[in-house]
A and B are shown apart, each in its own frame.
Chain A
Amino acid sequence: MTQKLEFNQARDLDQALIDSDVGSMGADRLIGRWTNTDAQTRGLREITIKQTGAQFSVSAAGAGTDGAIQWLARSVRPLANVEEEAGQRGIALAADFDFGFMKAETYLRVNKGVLVIVLFNSFRDDSGRSDYVTREFFYRRD
């Protein structure tokens, strides 16, 4: 039996997406403990990514005035990363953090051995701060 797939961009029909197990697509490139390449960062100092079965967790240490501030993602979704060239596909993660006064919608990927996180930070308090986007780079610690 053939199934007609709905789509609204040609990429949706990529054969590699069909019956794929995202969790097994090179997740080991992401798993581990990562340290910010910028020793003076005012953002995230460290990120830890773990996998248990099909589940991923992302935690981080934010730079604080009196030590690190713990970040723990409320939700983490693995996504097949189809941007890689030469058929070298891996995964990216979408991770959402919620602090009440602020939320951070992020994505993480590994590019040439460097973990890249892009954070879209939205303030929900009345502080008047602008929502802002940042990008940081991490090297593998272990």
Chain B
Amino acid sequence: MEFAQICDSVEPVAISRRPVDVAGLPGVWINSNPQTNGIARIVISEADGGLSLQVYAIGPDGLIDWGVRQVQVYSSTPSSRTGAGFSCRFDFGFAESFLQGMIMKGLLVLAELRTFKDASNRADYFVREYFSLEHQRF
């Protein structure tokens, strides 16, 4: 089994072919910063055996719906079958957002890598924000 760092390596007996359990990811995730000027809310849903993600971002007249995309799910180790993160790409023509999320202590830590493809000469940017799951228990 090839590896580029020892932690990539897994004993074959430890590999399960069962699907990754994504139960910890679906739900409505709200930005912890009420003053954000970026992504305000993320809705993650199970669909067709995979996960889809819908983004709502702050706009001048309310939230802007980015639409729905499929996500790639990541575990926390190569032998784990529990979803611990995801990545997802949005292409809007004038700009592209690559989202990389990971769950840490119940929080979703979301990195957005934003690339402008128009001629506006804006700097591509990186931002990392925290989202909490709306659970309605308290």
Question: A residues touching B (Cβ–Cβ < 8 Å)?
Answer: 3, 5-12, 14, 16-22, 25, 42-44, 62-65, 69, 71, 77-83, 91-92, 94, 97, 99-102, 104-105, 107, 109, 118, 120-123, 125, 127-135
B1-50 with Cβ < 8 A to chain A: 1-8, 10, 15-17, 20, 37-39
Q: Which residues of A contact B138 (CB under 8 A)?
A: none
Task: Tell me whether A80 and B124 are in contact in the complex, defined as CB-CB below 8 angstroms, given that A10-B58, A99-B2, A123-B78 are known contacts.
Answer: yes
CB-based nearest A residue for B64: A8
Q: How far is the CA of A5 from the CA of B92 in the complex (A)?
A: 13
16 CB-based A-B contacts, threshold 8 Å: A9-B57, A12-B114, A18-B121, A42-B7, A62-B4, A65-B6, A80-B124, A102-B8, A104-B4, A121-B8, A122-B72, A127-B10, A128-B15, A130-B75, A130-B81, A133-B84
Number of A-B residue pairs, CB cutoff 8 Å, is: 180
Main secondary structure of the interface of A (DSSP, over half): mixed
CB-based nearest A residue for B125: A80
Q: Is the CB of B102 within 8 A of A135?
A: yes
CB-based nearest B residue for A69: B4
- A73 to B: closest C-beta gap in Å: 12
Q: How far is the CA of A105 from the CA of B81 in the complex (A)?
A: 20
